[in-house]
């Protein structure tokens, strides 16, 4: 099955669609693309085969791959220099969240004179940008998690203060997305599980976020339904292309839905990602039940509706929570934050303030205070649900 659709941008979906990369370049009038990926992927036969595809022989392709797992501002700065020095006219953002986020940021920053931090997703910062000359972007995800291929922002860490920033502009949204499940079959089980839980966190928080956006709610509901059906299969049967396909779509749906907002799962995750370099999907998975139980009073009715849509045994908050806890256990996701990070009591205050200031915080169904953030961190470290 090969299908094209246009929401929220142009998406080319199907097995083997990576072979259409040259068509995407031609469609966007890109002659000298910069292929942006991470330090691990660039060494694989997967990338070598794509770059050496005879269909790309008429395009002048260079590679940039100096990207950390949790990308930092200097990665973007270096990439922009490579982009300009090579006179590139477009970006192919390839990989997981890091490759996609940095690729999008390079395309955007290639046209800017202000520092990247001036475009943090606060107020109308995005209107400060120079809209002329922003390079076109082709996004090709190789994990089913972040959904960055369908997002209008990038997550970049400011090294000076170890703070993860959401950099936003409408033109961060790639012009063409290639969703090819064949690119995800070699993902290790741990990464498949963590990225899948990231997709679940996006859909779940979007669905529960405060505000009114019925379209986002509908997308999130179906995204979670796909994840319930296919995540465990994708982890256990890595070559199952149907499972891989559905997880790719669910990840893209999560990113589309969370334009409505996110919440405390992400607020808590971003500080530990930037300070302790913990995988974003893994930290989202760990924080999920703590935030759910913290928000119970505000979201119980919605979770009951979700339980019905997911066809759980009981239509209740407790049944949904049990499903989350069982799923994490089946995927070997740790229950406590202390199992993946050595966070001292003295560091909780700093992390809590960072979490409170995070742009995801206002979307949480229950208003959050500094005291709440401290309690959420402490409970997650101890393994104590609310």
Q: Which two tokens mark 238?
A: 């890595």
Whether residues 250 and 159 share a domain: the answer is no
Whether residues 129 and 258 share a domain: the answer is no
Q: What is the rounded distance in angstroms from the CA atom of residue 250 to the CA atom of residue 225?
A: 9
The pLDDT score that the predictor gives to residue 253 is 97
Q: What is the rounded distance in angstroms from the CA atom of residue 342 to the CA atom of residue 364?
A: 27
Structural domain ending residue among the three candidates 149, 183, 217: 183
Structural domain ending residue among the three candidates 126, 161, 183: 183
Q: What is the mean pLDDT of residues 10-31?
A: 98
> What are the pLDDT digits (tens) for 192-214?
999 999 999 999 999 999 989 99
Q: What is the rounded distance in angstroms from the CA atom of residue 170 to the CA atom of residue 152?
A: 5
Which residues, other chains included, contact 176 with Cβ-Cβ below 8 Å and sequence gap of 6+? 9, 10, 11, 12, 24, 27, 28, 138, 139
Structural domain ending residue among the three candidates 144, 168, 183: 183
pLDDT band at 1 (very low <50, low <70, confident <90, very high): confident
Residue 377 is part of a domain; what is its CATH number? 1.20.1090.10
Q: What is the mean pLDDT of residues 300-318?
A: 97
Helix (H) or strand (E) holding 222: helix 214-236
The pLDDT score that the predictor gives to residue 6 is 86
Whether residues 44 and 114 share a domain: the answer is yes
Which residues, other chains included, contact 69 with Cβ-Cβ below 8 Å and sequence gap of 6+? 38, 98, 277, 279
* Domain range for 103: 2-183
pLDDT surpasses 90 at 45 = yes
The pLDDT score that the predictor gives to residue 2 is 87
DSSP character at residue 279: -
Whether residues 88 and 199 share a domain: the answer is no
Count CB atoms within 10 A of the CB of residue 13: 19
pLDDT band at 69 (very low <50, low <70, confident <90, very high): confident
The pLDDT score that the predictor gives to residue 373 is 98
> What are the pLDDT digits (tens) for 316-343?
999 999 999 999 999 999 999 999 999 9
Whether residues 198 and 228 share a domain: the answer is yes
Coil/strand/helix, residue 90: strand
Whether residues 44 and 17 share a domain: the answer is yes
Burial category of 123 from C-beta neighbours within 10 Å (exposed 0-12, middle 13-18, buried 19 and up): exposed
Domain count for the chain: 2
Burial category of 364 from C-beta neighbours within 10 Å (exposed 0-12, middle 13-18, buried 19 and up): buried
Whether residues 146 and 214 share a domain: the answer is no
Whether residues 110 and 244 share a domain: the answer is no
Q: What is the pTM of this model?
A: 0.94
Higher pLDDT, 163 or 205: 205
Q: What is the mean pLDDT of residues 338-364?
A: 96
pLDDT surpasses 90 at 162 = no
pLDDT band at 144 (very low <50, low <70, confident <90, very high): very high
The pLDDT score that the predictor gives to residue 365 is 97
> What are the pLDDT digits (tens) for 210-249?
989 999 999 999 999 999 999 999 999 999 999 999 999 9
Whether residues 13 and 113 share a domain: the answer is yes
Q: What is the rounded distance in angstroms from the CA atom of residue 59 to the CA atom of residue 56?
A: 5
Count CB atoms within 10 A of the CB of residue 63: 15
Burial category of 125 from C-beta neighbours within 10 Å (exposed 0-12, middle 13-18, buried 19 and up): middle
Tokens 């409408």 locate to 170
pLDDT surpasses 90 at 53 = yes
Alpha helices in the chain, H assignment, sequence order: 21-27, 45-51, 73-85, 97-109, 189-208, 214-236, 241-257, 264-276, 280-294, 296-309, 317-330, 348-357, 370-382
Tokens 């890595």 locate to 238
Q: What is the mean pLDDT of residues 127-153?
A: 96
Whether residues 154 and 13 share a domain: the answer is yes
Whether residues 192 and 170 share a domain: the answer is no
Q: Residues 276, 338: contact at Cβ < 8 Å?
A: no
The pLDDT score that the predictor gives to residue 372 is 98
Residue 175 is part of a domain; what is its CATH number? 3.40.50.1970
Coil/strand/helix, residue 364: coil
The pLDDT score that the predictor gives to residue 127 is 96
Bridge partners for 138 per DSSP: 92, 176
Q: Work out the mean pLDDT of the chain and round it to a whole number.
A: 96
Q: Which two tokens mark 61?
A: 């392709």
The pLDDT score that the predictor gives to residue 38 is 95
The pLDDT score that the predictor gives to residue 78 is 98
Q: Which two tokens mark 252?
A: 């893209």
Q: Which two tokens mark 160?
A: 């000076």
| Lowest-confidence pick of 157-161, 283-287, 317-321 | 157-161
Whether residues 154 and 197 share a domain: the answer is no
Q: What is the rounded distance in angstroms from the CA atom of residue 365 to the CA atom of residue 58?
A: 52
The pLDDT score that the predictor gives to residue 40 is 93
């Amino acid at each position: 099955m090969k299908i094209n659709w246009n929401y929220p941008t142009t998406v080319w979906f199907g097995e083997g669609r990576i072979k259409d990369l040259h068509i995407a370049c031609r469609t966007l009038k890109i002659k000298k693309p910069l292929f942006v990926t991470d330090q691990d992927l660039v060494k694989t036969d997967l990338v070598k085969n794509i770059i050496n595809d005879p269909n790309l022989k008429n395009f002048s392709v260079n590679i940039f791959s100096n990207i950390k797992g949790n990308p930092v501002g200097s990665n973007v700065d270096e990439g922009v220099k490579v982009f300009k020095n090579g006179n590139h006219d477009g970006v192919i953002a390839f990989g997981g969240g890091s490759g996609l986020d940095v690729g999008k940021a390079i395309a955007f920053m290639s046209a800017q004179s202000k520092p990247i931090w001036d475009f943090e997703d606060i107020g109308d910062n995005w209107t400060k940008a120079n809209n002329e000359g922003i390079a076109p972007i082709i996004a090709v995800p190789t994990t089913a998690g972040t959904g960055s291929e369908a997002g209008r922002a990038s997550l970049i860490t400011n090294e000076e203060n170890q703070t993860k920033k959401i950099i936003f502009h409408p033109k961060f949204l790639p012009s063409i997305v290639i969703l090819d499940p064949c690119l995800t079959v070699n993902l290790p089980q741990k990464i498949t599980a963590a990225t899948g839980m990231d997709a679940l966190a996006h859909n779940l928080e979007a669905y529960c976020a405060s505000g009114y956006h019925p379209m986002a709610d509908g997308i999130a509901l179906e995204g979670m339904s796909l994840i319930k059906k296919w995540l465990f299969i994708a982890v256990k049967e890595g070559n199952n292309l149907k499972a891989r396909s559905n997880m790719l779509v669910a990840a893209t749906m999560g990113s589309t839905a969370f334009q409505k907002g996110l919440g405390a799962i992400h607020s808590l995750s971003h500080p530990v990602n930037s300070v302790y370099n913990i995988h974003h999907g893994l930290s989202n998975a760990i924080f999920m039940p703590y935030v759910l139980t913290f928000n119970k009073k505000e979201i119980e009715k919605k979770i009951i509706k979700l339980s019905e849509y997911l066809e759980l045994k009981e239509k209740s908050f407790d049944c949904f929570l049990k499903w989350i806890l069982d799923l994490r256990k089946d995927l070997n996701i740790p229950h406590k934050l202390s199992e993946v990070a050595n966070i001292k009591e003295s560091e909780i205050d700093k992390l809590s303030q960072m979490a409170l200031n995070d742009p995801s915080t206002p979307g949480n169904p229950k208003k959050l205070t500094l005291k709440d953030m401290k309690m959420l961190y402490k409970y997650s470290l101890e393994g104590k649900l609310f």
